[in-house]
Copies of this chain bind each other. A is one copy, B any other.
Amino acid sequence: MGQAGCKGLYQSLFDYKTEKYVIAKNKKVGLLYRLLQVSILTYLVVWVFLVKKCYQDTDTSLQSSIITKVKGVTFTNTSELGERLWDVADYVIPPQGENVFFVITNLVVTPNQRQETCAESASVPDALCYEDSDCPPGEPVAAGNGVRTGRCLREGSAQKGTCEIFAWCPVETRSRPTKPLLGEAKDFTVYIKNFIRFPKFNFSKTNVLDTTDRTFLKSCKFSPENPYCPIFRLGSVVSWTGSNFQEIAVQGGVIGIQIEWDCDLDKAPSECYPRYYFNRLDNRFSGNSISSGYNFRFAKYYRDAAGVEFRTLFKAYGIRFDVMVNGKAGKFNIIPTIINVGSGVALMGVGSFFCDLVLIYFIKKSHFYRDKKYEEVRSGHQGNGKVNVEQLQSLQTMEA
């Protein structure tokens, strides 16, 4: 080893260097180490490989497309609207059948609004007035419906009135019906068609059972017992979220329908099927009335014979459904397998580290083991002392 020529380098290139171990005949630490080894192995096999399936390459960048189609009609008879039949084109907004859709269940209708002047609603605090000077002309009413004209309208001999405004008149004054107009919406059904694709594995699937029985989709309803039929009764969906349909129908709400795909592509494609979860997504638990429920206003615009525009204002309460899809697919791949086995072996080193600590610091004979484990060498003595015996030996080896 005194020379380090090319040949020596070449020879030593294929020498295998392996760590030297000291066998400590200590049953306690030995047992501890075996326990740690077994724990790590168990963790590796059970958690990393069986539960988390870390031997698989995964794809979570799901391509998904949702088509929804609501079905159902209902008949109402109110003093405002008369006899009226509601079909899908009337009560679903927007009509396109996207992943977010809204079903009207309750309505406040203000028909025949025109651009003119009228009294502001008395329920708007900023509109109250005693005299005309309380209504500076041209200024909009805060949280109100129009701009002030400058007059204060008082009924009869009342002291207090509301400002006259220029607005879509008459303004909305009715309050929310306490009984939902379209309470029968609980029997409407929605057909949710979901197509997914995992681009990494070029794997496509749909949530509709691949059947040749054409009547299946015409007659089936989704239920925990019948999970392959993606036709949902609205009332059932609401009840699965733990909500009451009549309550949500009156003041509106948001319901999340989650479709989860967890596909193991090492198994048959038929084992990859969706799971459905239903959640209420607006905070109904809050007592704060301003932050519960769901409603919005929209209008239908018309022209009369003279060409003047008028509109019907709707304040719609109802249920918004958000269909959300997420998923992941996994398939065996050698690289994550190696990496996970490797990190498992590396974890063994942690076990050794811990046992070493015990062995050389915490047991009775730790001194002895410490001396055995650590071999002290001092380069300073090399020249001084007689002969470093080991070097002598290696010298002898050379000479031999």
| List of B residues within 8 angstroms of A326 by Cβ | 61
Contact with B along A224-253 (1 / 0, CB 8 A): 000000000000000000000000000000
CA distance A362 to B29 in the complex (A): 27
Give the Cβ gap from A192 to chain B, nearest Cβ, in Å.
11
Contact yes or no, A146 B85, CB < 8 A: yes
Residue among B24, B143, B377 making CB contact with A369, cutoff 8 Å: B377
Q: Is A175 an interface residue (CB 8 A)?
A: no
Contact yes or no, B376 A394, CB < 8 A: yes
Q: Which residue of B lies closest to A148 (CB)?
A: B75
Q: Which of A253-294 contact B (CB under 8 A)?
A: 254, 256, 258, 277, 279, 281-283, 286-291, 294
Q: Which residue of B lies closest to A205 (CB)?
A: B283
Give the Cβ gap from A57 to chain B, nearest Cβ, in Å.
12
| List of B residues within 8 angstroms of A341 by Cβ | 350
> Given contacts A72-B140, A197-B279, A299-B90, are A391 and B365 in contact (CB under 8 A)?
no
| List of B residues within 8 angstroms of A7 by Cβ | none
> Given contacts A95-B296, A376-B25, A377-B372, are A345 and B349 in contact (CB under 8 A)?
yes
Contact yes or no, B85 A167, CB < 8 A: yes
Q: Which of A1-55 contact B (CB under 8 A)?
A: 1-2, 12-27, 29-34, 43, 47
| List of B residues within 8 angstroms of A79 by Cβ | none
> Given contacts A93-B96, A397-B2, are A378 and B25 in contact (CB under 8 A)?
yes
Contact yes or no, B21 A20, CB < 8 A: yes
Contact yes or no, B391 A286, CB < 8 A: no
CA distance A214 to B90 in the complex (A): 35
Contact yes or no, B395 A393, CB < 8 A: no
Q: Is the interface of A mostly helix, strand, loop or mixed?
A: mixed
Give the Cβ gap from A49 to chain B, nearest Cβ, in Å.
14
Contact yes or no, A21 B18, CB < 8 A: yes
| List of B residues within 8 angstroms of A29 by Cβ | 16
Contact yes or no, A85 B31, CB < 8 A: no
Q: Which residue of B lies closest to A297 (CB)?
A: B89
Q: Is A80 an interface residue (CB 8 A)?
A: no
Q: Which residue of B lies closest to A74 (CB)?
A: B140
Residue among B14, B74, B168, B290 making CB contact with A87, cutoff 8 Å: B168
Contact yes or no, B1 A397, CB < 8 A: yes
Q: Is A337 an interface residue (CB 8 A)?
A: no
CA distance A166 to B197 in the complex (A): 44
CA distance A342 to B282 in the complex (A): 42
| List of B residues within 8 angstroms of A313 by Cβ | 89
Contact yes or no, B15 A23, CB < 8 A: yes
User: What are 27 A-B pairs at a CB distance below 8 A?
Assistant: A1-B397, A15-B23, A15-B376, A18-B24, A22-B375, A22-B376, A23-B375, A24-B379, A25-B379, A61-B326, A73-B144, A75-B146, A75-B166, A93-B94, A96-B298, A195-B281, A208-B283, A208-B291, A211-B288, A212-B287, A302-B303, A371-B394, A381-B397, A391-B398, A392-B393, A393-B393, A395-B395
Question: Top 3 nearest A-B pairs by Cβ distance?
Answer: A65-B281, A14-B30, A95-B298
